[in-house]
């Protein structure tokens, strides 16, 4: 993985992370969509993923349970809004399976995988419902946490 100029948020409620991976986008996409691979990189260590379920299709459900070092679980459910294999994933926590609204939607994720001569420009955008949510996500360590996850993803891509 190599550093890449930071992508510019398209609006005030968006956080963005960009990386250039030394792997084809098919591999990067697979790491995002295969539950067993997601478990290996999707949260900053020492946190882990206790469960991962992905139904990667528009309206398909997603369930990821993050576990902190003390053993507390944090379930995250959502649905995929758009899926373009090896190019783009869009998902939200605003709904769960069957289009059931959640109590407090937080953000919509837009993940793109662009081919750059066999390497992949990876861009993760988190679009929040409210400016306050964006600020809270930033203060929770969006750039540090998602950056560490991108580093862990790069390590995984070398092994698969």
Structure tokens at 21: 């991976």
Q: For residue range 30-71, what is the model confidence (pLDDT) as tens digits?
A: 999 999 999 999 999 999 999 999 999 999 999 999 999 999
Domain limits at 19?
Answer: 14-159
Which pLDDT value is given to residue 10?
Answer: 60
Q: For residue range 93-127, what is the model confidence (pLDDT) as tens digits?
A: 999 989 999 999 999 999 999 999 999 999 999 99
Q: How many domains does the chain have?
A: 1
Any domain includes 8: no
Give me the CATH number covering residue 135: 3.30.530.20
Any domain includes 1: no
């Amino acid at each position: 993985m190599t550093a890449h100029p930071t992508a510019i948020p398209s609006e005030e409620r968006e956080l963005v992370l960009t990386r250039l991976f030394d792997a084809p986008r098919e591999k990067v996409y697979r790491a995002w969509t295969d539950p067993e691979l997601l478990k290996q990189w999707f949260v900053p260590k020492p946190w882990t993923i206790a469960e991962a379920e992905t139904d990667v299709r528009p309206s398909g459900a997603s369930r990821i349970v993050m576990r902190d070092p003390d053993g507390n679980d944090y379930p995250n459910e959502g649905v995929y809004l758009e899926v373009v294999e090896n190019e783009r994933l869009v998902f939200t926590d605003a709904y769960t399976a069957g289009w059931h609204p959640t109590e407090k939607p937080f953000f919509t994720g837009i993940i793109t995988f662009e081919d750059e001569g066999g390497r992949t420009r990876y861009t993760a955008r988190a679009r929040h419902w409210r400016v306050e949510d964006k600020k809270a996500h930033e203060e929770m360590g969006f750039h540090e946490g998602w950056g560490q996850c991108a580093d862990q993803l790069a390590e995984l891509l070398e092994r698969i």
